[in-house]
Amino acid sequence: MSKPVLSYLGETKLALGPAENVEGHPWRRAEADGIVWLVLDCADTSTNTISEVVLEGLNAEVEALEKSSPKAVVLRSAKKNGFAAGADINGFREMTGDGAIDMLRKGAEVLDRFEKLPCPTIAVVHGMALGAGFEIALACDYRIAVDGATFGFPEVNLGLHPGLGGTYRLPALIDPLEAMTMMLTGKTAYTKKAKSLGIVDAVVEERHVEAAVEAIVAGKVDKQKPGLKAKALQFDAARGLVANRMRSETGKKAKKEHYPAPYALIDIWEEHGDDRKAMQKAEIESFAELLKSDTSQNLQRVFFLQQSLKNGARGEDGIDHVHVIGAGEMGAEIAAWSAIKGKRVTLGDINLKPLGKAVKTAAKICKDKHLTSIETRDVLDRLIPDPKGYGLARADLVIEAATENPELKEKIYADAEGRMKPDAILATNTSSLRLSELGSNLKNPNRFAGLHFFNPVSKMQLVEVVSQDGTDEKVLERLMAFCGEISRLPVPVTDYPGFLVNRALTPYLMEAMVLMEEGVDKEVIDKAAIDFGMPMGPVALADQVGLDICLHVAESLKSSLDKPMPEINDELRRKVDAGNTGKKSGKGFYDWSDGTPRPDTDKAGPDDLTDRLILPMLDGCVECLRKGVARNADEVDGAMIFATGFAPFRGGPMHYAETRGTEEIRKRLEELAERHGNRFAPDPGWADL
């Protein structure tokens, strides 16, 4: 068999060929100077994921290495975007009961045998090494990180914990408390952090990888050794104290009944942290048990919803140059994020001060996203303050992000249309105004649409791509693809008051205002929502969104919808008039000077408090489905999860409605309508679900 020459990251070229005894073998093998290189190259994908086939292939290679030991074995990836993104989630659907335990045991056995090879084993990691990919790297004696590498265990986001040895290999390698924190939170350790923690033994540039491997083989690189804290935590009493503290801290962020995985991980570490063999057995059994839990099943559903939204963003956008009009908070973030994702951006504003602030915002986002100084320089080179609006004439996409003033927006459009390229797209970031009215005077309404980003753009994944009656289908396809190009999840919606997300979210926020007027403490209201599973209560969320924006959207929906909306709180108007608009001003209903408020109260609210908050949100989603604002229930669920944080472990609002029972919810809404008014009357669409 001929062995193709394969280049990974363009630096090292080796004659690599797959083993012939495993069908679909994803490991390509080469040998140079007595060192065996195994390069993971999963077929028909740009990203490696760890599947049964990958582990079977590694097993075949281990069998060969056990028979004839080389000077060293090096594992790395042929994919440019990283080592491996974790386990193949599609395979989880086949892992049930004893089958899951058997599969995990086989995987653990492969890594144990690889770990015991008599020669040095080295993982060379560029890009991401996550989940099971990280676990394979941990089974090596050494880890070399190419600058930009990241390591992490995101399994908690799927309602799981590591299942291929991560629960005992990482705490044995680094400070056990740091290891547990990584597994409990799913947070990623970037290159420098990974080196300081002891996850990696060397950080090098790609061109120095071979030299680093040679240094390890020559015995010039010391292996990481456990510290004093690791030795202290070998004692049951010490682990018990630390485990209790971990449970307390975890409890502040997630309830056990909602997210059991972190608590299961703490339990097995506390009980078996000094016994690797027992830990391995407990890890496998716990993983298999969690895999069939409602939480994990729903979080896996969320993962596939995300993949579906990503699939909708495929294609060529034909957009190289973006011009953003308005350098306020939203405009600055849209411009910065577009530049970070490689677009050339001009940012226009009649005032110079916000333009200067926007550049600082971009630099801060770069820092938060762990961009290098060179990458940050390139981003700032692509982001051009443009007070005269010269970029309008060259832009492929013009995004208007001015204040929610229809007259101002119409003036901007009139000026922009006369200067834009004939094939350029004009998009508005309005959160509530109807596109049919905003674009009524446009000469080319077919090139006008909505791109509704959520604040902050650099953190919120969802974008509503809004069509109006005249929008050309090709324009919408390009905007969907543009969202994909800037790593955002687009959901297509039609022109409707509040579109999808704000139409569903606003009754939730406004009902909280009504409850406060009835005398219910804001902390009681917010705690009820958090206990349901929302990441933040409605009062704190209103503060974060901006009380001025909430007021504007509420007034807009109240005047536009057939359905009654909750009355607008007088206190809300007073706070907006006084400039106390929430987080951005430092004070709204909460004082934000000490960071995000977390309600701490033992007071009880009304017996129907949670349903008064949550069910109107579900009813708004049903209305949007009935009206064709959204295409299907899955996209509604994806939009609400990724834009509002709707309790992910419940699988989305429509999935929650199906699980609880649509008829039961419809009857509950009727009860609430009798008690509190017609704003709770169930939408006719419930009958069709």
Q: Residue 91: what pLDDT? A: 78
> How sure is the predictor about 97, in pLDDT bands with cuts at 50, 70 and 90?
low
> Does 5 score more than 70 pLDDT?
no
Q: Residue 569: what pLDDT? A: 85
Whole-prediction pTM value?
0.90
Distance CA(445)–CA(269), nearest Å, equals: 61
> Does 98 score more than 80 pLDDT?
no
pLDDT in tens, 30-66: 999 999 999 999 998 989 999 999 999 999 999 999 9
pLDDT in tens, 286-295: 999 999 999 9
Structural contact between residues 359 and 383, judged by C-beta atoms closer than 8 angstroms? yes
* Structural domain spans, the chain: 5-298, 321-487, 501-688
> How sure is the predictor about 23, in pLDDT bands with cuts at 50, 70 and 90?
low
Q: Quick one: average pLDDT of 303-325? A: 95
> How sure is the predictor about 1, in pLDDT bands with cuts at 50, 70 and 90?
very low
pLDDT in tens, 356-391: 999 999 999 999 998 989 999 999 999 999 999 999
Distance CA(214)–CA(661), nearest Å, equals: 63
> Does 250 score more than 60 pLDDT?
yes
Tokens of 67: 């028979």
Q: Quick one: average pLDDT of 438-449? A: 94
Tokens of 498: 């509040």
Q: Residue 252: what pLDDT? A: 85
Q: Quick one: average pLDDT of 73-93? A: 90
> Does 600 score more than 90 pLDDT?
no
CATH number of 5-298: 3.90.226.10
Distance CA(333)–CA(456), nearest Å, equals: 7
**Radius of gyration (C-alpha) of the chain in whole angstroms:** 27
Q: Quick one: average pLDDT of 156-166? A: 95
Residue with tokens 């090292």: 12
Residue with tokens 């485990």: 243
Task: Give the strand pairing for 448-453 and 425-428.
Answer: parallel
Residue 385 has a CB neighbour count (10 Å cut-off) of 18
Q: Residue 472: what pLDDT? A: 96
pLDDT in tens, 572-588: 999 999 999 999 899 99
Residue with tokens 């659907």: 93
Which contiguous run of DSSP H or E holds residue 83? strand 82-84
Least confident of 87-91, 113-117, 139-143, 666-670: 87-91
> How sure is the predictor about 100, in pLDDT bands with cuts at 50, 70 and 90?
confident
> How sure is the predictor about 229, in pLDDT bands with cuts at 50, 70 and 90?
low
> How sure is the predictor about 7, in pLDDT bands with cuts at 50, 70 and 90?
very low
pLDDT in tens, 465-485: 999 998 999 999 999 999 999
Residue 647: closest CA among 292, 298, 304: 298
Q: Residue 579: what pLDDT? A: 94
Q: Residue 94: what pLDDT? A: 67
Residue 582: strand, helix, or coil: strand
Higher pLDDT, 24 or 349: 349
Looking at every residue in the chain, the average pLDDT score rounds to 92
Catalytic residue numbers read 452
CATH of 501-688, one of 3.30.360.10, 1.10.3720.10, 3.40.50.300, 1.10.1040.50: 1.10.1040.50
One-letter amino acid of 563: K
Q: Residue 63: what pLDDT? A: 95
> Which ranges constitute the DSSP H helices of 33-131?
52-67, 97-115
Strand-pairing partners, residue 385, are 347
Angle at 56 between CA 50 and CA 59, to 5 degrees: 110
Residue 547: closest CA among 517, 581, 514: 581
Q: Residue 399: what pLDDT? A: 98
Least confident of 8-22, 102-116, 239-253, 410-424: 8-22
Question: Percent of the chain, pLDDT > 70?
Answer: 95
> How sure is the predictor about 17, in pLDDT bands with cuts at 50, 70 and 90?
low
Going by the DSSP 8-state scheme, the letter that residue 683 receives in this structure is: P
> Does 12 score more than 90 pLDDT?
no
Structural contact between residues 488 and 456, judged by C-beta atoms closer than 8 angstroms? no
Distance CA(587)–CA(591), nearest Å, equals: 5
> Does 562 score more than 50 pLDDT?
yes
> How sure is the predictor about 624, in pLDDT bands with cuts at 50, 70 and 90?
very high
> How sure is the predictor about 459, in pLDDT bands with cuts at 50, 70 and 90?
very high
Distance CA(480)–CA(476), nearest Å, equals: 6
One-letter amino acid of 468: Q
Q: Quick one: average pLDDT of 495-504? A: 96
Tokens of 145: 């990180």
Strand-pairing partners, residue 129, are 84, 151
Side-by-side strand order, sheet with 397-400: 383-385, 344-348, 321-325, 397-400, 425-428, 448-453, 462-467, 489-494
pLDDT in tens, 382-414: 999 999 999 999 999 999 999 989 999 999 999
Tokens of 6: 């394969």
pLDDT in tens, 535-558: 999 999 999 989 998 998 899 898
CATH number of 321-487: 3.40.50.720
One-letter amino acid of 668: R
Structural contact between residues 315 and 481, judged by C-beta atoms closer than 8 angstroms? yes
Sequence-distant (≥ 6) Cβ neighbours of residue 385 within 8 angstroms: 327, 346, 347, 352, 355, 356, 358, 359
